Amino acid sequence: MTISEQLFEQAKTVIPGGVNSPVRAFRAVGGHPLFIKSAKGPYIYDEDDRQYIELINSWGPMVLGHAFEPVEKAVRDAIGHSFSFGAPTRKEVEMAELIVSMVPSVEKVRMVNSGTEATMAAIRVARGFTGRDKIIKFEGCYHGHGDSFLIAAGSGAMTMGTPDSPGVTKATALDTLTAPYNDLAAVEALIENNTNQIAALILEPVVGNMGCVLPEPGFLEGLRELCTKHEIVLIFDEVMTGFRLAPGGAQQRFGITPDLTTMGKIIGGGMPVGAYGGRADIMNMVSPAGPVYQAGTLSGNPIAMSAGLAMLHYLNDHPEVYTRLDEIGNKLATGFQASLTKLGLPYTINQIGSMFTQFMTDKTVTDFETAKTCDVPRFGRYFHAMLKRGVYLAPSQFESLFVSVALTDELIEQVIQANEESLIEAAE
Ligand code: PLP
C-alpha cells in the first residue's frame, strides 16, 4: 500500500468521502487520490515522493507555477504583522484599486473568501437592485456550491452524477431557470415567459466546468443586448477565466462589458480569496453603503491580500505572461491534435489560451448535452495512464486543463508524448 492509499483510508474514517472537496476523491476516474506533500514551479510531489508535471495547478490559481517567489516573499513579509485584524487595511484599498484598474467593467469591488461566496453575493445584490427573484444560469456551468447554482451544475456536481443536490429546496430551484449554453433563442424564450421577473443572468464567459467550452460568435454579444433590453443584471463568473485569459479576463478578451463580475482562484495567489464587483450603482447596494447584507470575519485577510496583490501586480506588470500562456495552450492543442490524427482518433479539442480540454467524443462540444457524449470510462483509463507517466491532470473528463507559465517547452513535449502513449493505452 502506498502512503497516499494509507492516508485515504485514514481520511475516510473522519472526513466525508476522505476529501474536503468532492472531485478530489477520483470517483470519476477510479482509484485513490494522491495526497500531496509539496509543489514547486511546474512540479507537484506526493506523499510517496513521486514527482508529477502539474496541469491542474490548484484548479487554476497557480498560473505562475507553484511557490512563485514574489508571492512567497509577500506572504512571509506579511506574516510578521499578525494574521488577521477584522479591521480595514491599506492592502485592501490597494487590492480594490488594482482590480478596478485591471478588470474593465469593475468600478467598485468587495473581497470575500471564495468563488462560491462571490457568486452567492452577486445574485443577492442583483436581486436587491432589480427587486426581482429569478435568475438564469446555463446547464453545465458551475458557480460554486450555493443552493441557487446546484441546478444543472457542472464540475464536481456533474462528475458525481448529482446535478441537483438533496438539501436544495424546491422553492430555490423554482427561482433558477436554466438554458443550454450557446442557445440565445432559449434565453429569449425564458425572458419572454418570465416578464419582469428575472434579476440576473449568470454565466462562465468561457466554460471550464463541463470541460472547456467556448462561446460561439455572437453569443456573449446577444446576451449583453438581451440583458440591457430587459434590465437584467449580466454577471460574468470569471472565477476561472479572470486574470487567466487576459489581465482583465474574458470580458477584456471578448470586449463585452458585464454589469457584475465574480472572481476567485488567481486573485488570491493560492490563498482562499474571492471578489465580486462591477457597476458602481449596483455595488452601492452592498451593506453598509446600501441595504443588501454581505459580510465576512476573514474577508480582506491581510495574508491573503498580500499573496493576491503580489500575484496581480506581477501579472499586470508582465503582459508577456499572457503571450506565453497562449503559446503553451496552442502548443499543447497542436501536439495533441497531431497525435489524434496519427492514431485516427476522432476526439474533439476545445482550446482558448491556457484553457484546454481533449473531449473523448467525435461530437463538436458546444454545450452540456454534447459534452456528455464523452466516453467517461475511457477517460478514466487515460487519466491513470497519464499519471503513470508523471502527468497530473484533473481527475475528470469535464474539466479544463490549467497550465502555468512554469511549463517549459521540454515539459510540453513530455506531456504531448505521454498523451499519445496514454491514448493508445486507454483504447486497449
Ligand atoms: N465559479 C466558477 C466558474 C468556478 O470554476 C468555481 C470553482 O471551481 C467557483 C465559481 C467556486 O469557487 P470556489 O471553489 O472558490 O468556491
Q: Which residue has the higher pLDDT, 21 or 173?
A: 21
CATH topology of domain 3-67+319-427: Aspartate Aminotransferase, domain 1 (3.90.1150)
* The three-state (H, E, C) secondary structure of 185-240, written as one string: HHHHHHHHHCCCCEEEEEECCCECECECECCCCCHHHHHHHHHHHCCCEEEEECCC
d(CA 383, CA 388): 9
- Residue whose CA is closest, atom 7 of ligand 1? 144
Task: Calculate how far, in angstroms, residue 329's C-alpha sits from the geometric centre of ligand 1.
Answer: 21
- Grade residue 156 by pLDDT with cuts at 50, 70 and 90: low
- Spell out the domain ranges in the chain: 3-67+319-427, 69-317
The SS3 call for residue 369 is helix
204 lines ligand 1 (CB under 6 A): yes
397 lines ligand 1 (CB under 6 A): no
Task: Calculate how far, in angstroms, residue 208's C-alpha sits from the geometric centre of ligand 1.
Answer: 10
d(CA 160, CA 102): 36
d(CA 379, CA 399): 12
Whether pTM > 0.90 for this model: the answer is yes
138 lines ligand 1 (CB under 6 A): no
143 lines ligand 1 (CB under 6 A): yes
Lowest mean pLDDT among 92-106, 146-160, 325-339: 146-160
User: Which atom of ligand 1 is nearest the CA belonging to 155?
Assistant: 8
* φ, ψ (nearest 5 deg) of residue 270: 110, -10
Each residue's pLDDT tens digit, 229-256: 999 999 999 999 999 999 999 999 999 9
- Which are the catalytic amino acids? 142, 237, 265
CATH entry 3.10.440.10 includes domain 69-317: no
Q: Is the pLDDT of residue 157 over 70?
A: no
115 lines ligand 1 (CB under 6 A): yes
User: Which atom of ligand 1 is nearest the CA belonging to 119?
Assistant: 10
Q: Is the pLDDT of residue 97 over 70?
A: yes
- Residue whose CA is closest, atom 9 of ligand 1? 144
Phi-psi label, residue 285: left if phi above 0, alpha if psi -120 to 50, beta otherwise: alpha
Task: Calculate how far, in angstroms, residue 114's C-alpha sits from the geometric centre of ligand 1.
Answer: 7
Give me the percent of the chain exceeding a pLDDT of 70.
97
Closest CA to 200 of 248, 157, 247, 233: 233
The pLDDT assigned to 162 comes to 45
238 lines ligand 1 (CB under 6 A): no
Task: Calculate how far, in angstroms, residue 111's C-alpha sits from the geometric centre of ligand 1.
Answer: 15
Mean pLDDT score of the chain: 96
Task: Calculate how far, in angstroms, residue 84's C-alpha sits from the geometric centre of ligand 1.
Answer: 24
pLDDT, mean of residues 12-22: 97
Each residue's pLDDT tens digit, 167-221: 888 888 889 999 999 999 999 999 999 999 999 999 999 999 999 999 999 999 9
Each residue's pLDDT tens digit, 324-371: 999 999 999 999 999 999 999 999 999 999 999 999 999 999 999 999
